Structure 1
Amino acid sequence: MTGRQTGRVLALIIPAALLGGALLSQYGFGLHPCEMCYWQRWPHEVAIGAAIVGLLLGRRSAGTALAVVAAIAIIASGAIGLFHAGVEYRWWEGLTTCSTTPGSGSGDVLADIMNAPLIRCDQAQWTLAGISLAGFNAIFSILGGGLVLWLIGRKQGGFA
């Protein structure tokens, strides 16, 4: 497998693993996401879609271009994660409001609102070695997206 092919495969694996980890932490361990956590997921979803279509296109240049789009989306998620981590660590001011998870769909909107967990964007729910989940997303996304771009671009010295 060439570097470009490896990059295209990683453009799918990296966001799928990071989004899977976020979903596992939410549904497996009860770490409910705040609004900024959801923002970090959207670029990963875009990256997964772009990478899948890019892989389906095979070795065409459009497939490579979509892998580049996926890498940029992965890095964008990392940038949002960096912002979110900065809010958690009090490096800068964050949002003035926080979000809760969507309602249960029971039809009783007021009960759904009252029973939904309030998750603050400025407090990390879990850390490892002082790094929050947003911080880990920033690290893995920025490095992973950069790796994909490097692998795709290193062949013959360009992205074409």
Structure 2
Amino acid sequence: MRLPATLANSDLAAACLLTLGMAVIVGSALGFEHLGGYVPCALCLMQRNPYYIGIGVGLAAIIAAALRLPPAVVRGLFLVIAVLMLVGMGLGIYHSGVEWKFWDGPASCSIGATGGATPTNVLEALNSTKAPSCTEATLRVLGLSFAGWNVLTSAGLAAIAIWATVRKRG
């Protein structure tokens, strides 16, 4: 039982766990898009931004913890990750509400296109190709859409980041 206790007290382990978690989540979304053929809507794409930014902050936290920078630096980076994941959770709640018709989505919800090899093809694609509407879930697993699962994963990562921020050191 010594190994889990050591990991629980390690800023480096927490930073690695958070960064890996964010990378797996956004990597899964990219996999569903590029391998599974699920075209994301505008809100889906927006929900990825906290993860993209969070991975960079997580890498900075890994470096800060590995270099044994002052605990305030590492805690500050964990706090930034927590805020990013809470923003991601809020975006997921908003998108889920749009899907369940609790409120209207943004007007840009169905705007999007896939480009071609030349500017002419891109312009043609803008006129003919629309991203899916934000109001329809393209897939539900155990009753939750991608947005719903994003709420849960963002909340879990935010909880880990908050714990890593406020826990006692040493």
Structure 2 unaligned blocks of 5 or more:
1-6
In the alignment, what sits opposite 2:168? 155
- In the aligned structure 2, how far is the partner of 1:125 from the partner of 1:14? 23
- For residues 49-105 of structure 1, what are the alpha-carbon distances to aligned partners after superposition, in whole Å with 9 as ceiling and x for unaligned? 111012112232323311221222122112101110111011222112323245234
Q: Could you say which residue in structure 1 is the equivalent of 2:123?
A: 110
Q: Percent identity?
A: 26
SS of 1:29's partner is coil
Structure 2 match to 1:136: 149
1:37 to 38, 44, 51: 44
AA aligned opposite 2:50: P
User: Which residue of the partner structure matches residue 86 of structure 1?
Assistant: 97
**Partners in 2 of 1:76 and 1:104 — Cα distance?**
33
RMSD: 2.0
TM-score (norm 2): 0.82
Number of equivalenced pairs: 157
Specify which of 119, 122, 146 is matched with residue 135 of structure 2: 122
Normalising by structure 1, report the TM-score: 0.87
Sort the Cα spacing of 1:134 and 1:83 in 2 relative to 1 into closer, same or farther, 3 A: same
> Which secondary structure does the structure 2 equivalent of 1:8 belong to?
helix
- Which residue number in structure 1 is paired with residue 107 of structure 2? 96
* More helix, by proportion: 2
| CA contact 1:12–1:48 (8 Å) conserved in 2 | yes
Residue segments in structure 1 that go unaligned for 5+ positions in a row: none
Please state whether the residue corresponding to 2:119 is helix, strand or coil: coil
